[in-house]
Amino acid sequence: MPLTLYGYWRSSAAYRLRIALNLKGVAYDQVSINLKDGEQTGEAWLAKQPQGLVPLLEDGDMRLVQSPAMLEWIEETWPQPALLPDNSDARCLVRGWASVIACDIHPVQNLRILKAAAALDGSGFDGMKAWAQRWTQSGLEALERMVAGHARSTPFLFGDTPGMSEVYLVPQMYNARRWETDLSNCPTLVKADEAARALPAFAKAAPENQPDAD
């Protein structure tokens, strides 16, 4: 029985999982939880995921949550092609870059936080945009300074092929573009993102190519 991925076309954490599963060649069914209509806050979904968030993976009777945990599980379950480097120090470097996105950029410009921030001063859509741009731009510029110090011979952030860095980067860059974030100080990230998106595993995972895209 294939995996079932509960997600939403624009969820950047679901987008990470689609990329990783595609890179590994793992088949999965998709079920859409409509974040725009608030399906994630309904009782049926909260019974599955008490945080009211997507994505979630079902593997038979087992339910997995939280994309960083699921990505490690995917890496352990289908080791090839490897998405993490083969030595511990390099793994820490790549996981650190991933974590800048997963822990410091993405969570503070998540939809529920954007809405809450804009509600504080009644600034509506413009307030959401300003808040998203602020944390996305400063976060990506810090990440750019981190990755720029690392020697590379391909456009990818680490090694010759896209890996865990791009699994996190590409969805975050999609969000950045969506909020019209200034990326002019992030040339290394822009290049890695473009090179990755040209590959089939990433193209197939893109939000606009999902069945629930509207």
- Positions touching its own copies (CB under 8 A) are 50-53, 62, 64-70, 72-73, 76-77, 88-89, 91-96, 98-100, 102-104, 106-108, 113, 116-117, 120-121, 123, 127, 131, 134, 139, 141-143, 145-146
Cβ neighbours around 170 below 10 Å, total: 24
Task: Name which of 50 and 200 has its Cβ closer to its own copies.
Answer: 50
Nearest approach in angstroms of CB 134 to its own copies is 8
Structure tokens at 128: 């959401």
Give, as one character, the DSSP assignment of residue 50: T
Nearest approach in angstroms of CB 146 to its own copies is 6
Task: Name which of 32 and 165 has its Cβ closer to its own copies.
Answer: 165
**How far is 35 from 15, CA to CA, in rounded Å?**
14
The identity of residue 154, as a single letter, is: T
Task: Name which of 144 and 212 has its Cβ closer to its own copies.
Answer: 144
Task: Name which of 34 and 123 has its Cβ closer to its own copies.
Answer: 123
Structure tokens at 90: 């390099």
3-class DSSP string for 107-122: HHHCHHHHHHHHHHHC
Nearest approach in angstroms of CB 76 to its own copies is 5
Q: Going by DSSP bridges, is the β-strand pair 28-32/3-7 parallel, antiparallel, or unpaired?
A: parallel
Nearest approach in angstroms of CB 15 to its own copies is 15
